[in-house]
Amino acid sequence: MGEEIAEGDLWKAQHDAMKPTTGGQSNVDDKEDKPAPPKKEENEIVKILEGFEHQSEKVILKEEEDLMEFETEFKDDLPQYKKNWQDSVHSAWDFVVYFRWIINMVTLAIPFSLVSVLLIGFDVVVNIVFNKWWAKANAILIAQTVYLVTQTFLSQWLIWEIPAWLRKFKIIRCFSWIAALIYTGVWALALIKLLFMLFVDDNSSDDYETLMFALFLAYMLIMTAPAIPVNIAIVSKELVLEEFTLLNKHIGQ
């Protein structure tokens, strides 16, 4: 009986010795729960993303500052006329120079804005109704509409002679002027070609291909015509702007 008890105690002691202690189990769990250190590639990606985010914030702040500066200059550039303006006007030309912004607004800017909106409306309606949604996404027709809308937007600042725009966006104005000049030149050449085909060239021996080319040329001239008044306004305004530009801080002084 005593030997059986002794053997039982020995087995229990061995069994208890094989059990991990509480502290040991905690250490094992800590090792299992501890996250693996990030790899070198992951660190580089994180740094790149952080740098990109920082750069984006700087760009956004810079754009906000430029926009606020543009708004401030726009307000400062609005015309401020004196009550005793007669003291500054001694001739008809002085009157034109003194009130040039109002004269430009009434005689040119407002009518041009209305006409340009009608031209965009004409282009959109024709392409939706008659061309069945730009001839099922025809690249030439879509590009024509995009060009018309873009040039109309840029021309508004020019025709209204907004001083802040004239000062800060000279490169955009230059590209817009060149595009208008090239567009109008190509359109004029196409028109001359069509007129020669209709009234000058001998049409007695024209074949089917010549007829189709003439029809295509006439169609493209009609579809691209809405941009011509806008182009002419941009080109002519830039040419005369050197003489009548509104770059004074306070227009009318």
What per-residue confidence (pLDDT) applies to 15?
53
| Domains in the chain: boundaries | 2-72, 91-244
What per-residue confidence (pLDDT) applies to 7?
53
What per-residue confidence (pLDDT) applies to 198?
84
What per-residue confidence (pLDDT) applies to 252?
37
Whether the predicted pLDDT of 180 surpasses 70: yes
Residue-wise pLDDT for 70-90, tens only, equals: 667 666 666 666 666 666 666
Can you spell out the DSSP letters for 209-229? HHHHHHHHHHHHHHHHTTHHH
Distance CA 155, CA 158 (A): 5
pTM: 0.66
Distance CA 29, CA 159 (A): 75
Residue-wise pLDDT for 2-13, tens only, equals: 444 455 555 555
